[in-house]
């Protein structure tokens, strides 16, 4: 990666940023389901592993773009808890790419003030990868710039089950009165506790479903589904999605201003 160490937005007059983005309506947190690596490769007569390799390049471009646009948080869905059903060789290749990404990019991410969070159940993850993920979090813990959330061996239902078990243990230990359990109590025990909820979800490849991703956190997010495959995702693609987001009327269950009047 080659990015500035500052989270800078190239501004122009009247609160406008790159390509006319409205700086007053920027999403704080963007979540992305990075879909289509395999189909991208198949369409070009390449192996699925080559598609995943190109997908890693797209991750680098997107993190760089997030820094340049001044986003507070970026969450990427890198490996689902359901992906274990894929061929063993493909899983091994995915793990190898993750190893390379951390080893090659961690120093640059740290230099650019990125703080890494890993979400998901790490019990089944190979020990060496688990150690790398822990190391990445520890190395960047003090950083105050972009929060880069990597969902690895993650499933939304599993996350809710684990959070519920944690609350149940606290109730059993007498640390929590069941009558005081509210949304905040549950949110704080999710893997994403302490982070802002995503404002915008982007999914590539034309699929239009959540695939068990951030089921609680996406309750009020805006969804944008793109036809492009993940390896083709560029900064301009992100900017285009944010422009669509900025046209949405986010009422959070209320009425829009014209209807209120």
Characterize 231-245 residue by residue with b for buried, 16 or more Cβ atoms within 10 angstroms of its Cβ, and e for exposed: bbbebebbbebbeeb
Residue 139 in contact with residue 110, Cβ under 8 Å? yes
Residue 24 in contact with residue 15, Cβ under 8 Å? yes
Sign of the CA dihedral 170, 176, 179, 182? Answer: negative
Quickly list H helices, the chain. 37-43, 48-69, 88-111, 127-140, 156-172, 183-188, 235-246, 257-260
Token pair 């036809």: residue? 227
Q: d(Cα 129, Cα 174) in Å, to the nearest integer?
A: 36
Is 22 catalytic? The answer is no
Is 83 catalytic? The answer is yes
Residue 7 in contact with residue 146, Cβ under 8 Å? yes
Quickly list H helices, 151-218. 156-172, 183-188
Q: Which of 13, 37, 83, 110 is catalytic?
A: 83
Q: Which of 35, 93, 191, 199 is catalytic?
A: 35
Catalytic amino acids? 35, 83
């Amino acid at each position: 990666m080659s990015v500035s160490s500052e989270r800078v937005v190239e501004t122009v007059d009247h609160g406008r940023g790159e390509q006319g983005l409205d700086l007053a309506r920027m999403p704080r947190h963007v979540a992305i389901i990075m879909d289509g690596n395999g189909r991208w490769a198949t369409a070009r007569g390449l192996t699925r592993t080559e598609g995943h390799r190109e997908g890693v390049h797209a991750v680098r471009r997107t993190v760089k773009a997030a820094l340049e646009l001044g986003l507070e948080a970026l969450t990427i869905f890198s490996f689902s808890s359901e992906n274990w059903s894929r061929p063993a060789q493909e899983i091994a290749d995915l793990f190898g790419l993750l190893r390379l990404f951390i080893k090659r990019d961690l120093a640059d991410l740290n230099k650019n003030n990125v703080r890494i969070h890993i979400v998901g159940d790490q019990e089944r993850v190979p020990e060496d990868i688990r150690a790398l993920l822990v190391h990445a979090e520890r190395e960047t813990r003090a950083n105050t710039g972009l929060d880069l959330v990597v969902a690895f061996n993650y499933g939304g239902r599993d996350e809710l089950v684990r959070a519920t078990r944690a609350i149940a243990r606290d109730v059993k230990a007498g640390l929590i009165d069941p009558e005081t359990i509210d949304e905040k109590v549950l949110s704080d025990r999710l893997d994403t506790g302490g982070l802002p909820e995503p404002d915008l979800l982007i999914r590539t490849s034309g699929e239009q479903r959540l695939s068990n991703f951030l089921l609680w956190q996406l309750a009020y997010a805006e969804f944008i589904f793109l036809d492009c495959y993940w390896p083709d995702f560029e900064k301009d693609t992100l900017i285009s999605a944010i422009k669509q987001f900025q046209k949405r009327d986010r009422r959070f269950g209320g009425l829009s201003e014209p209807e209120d009047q």
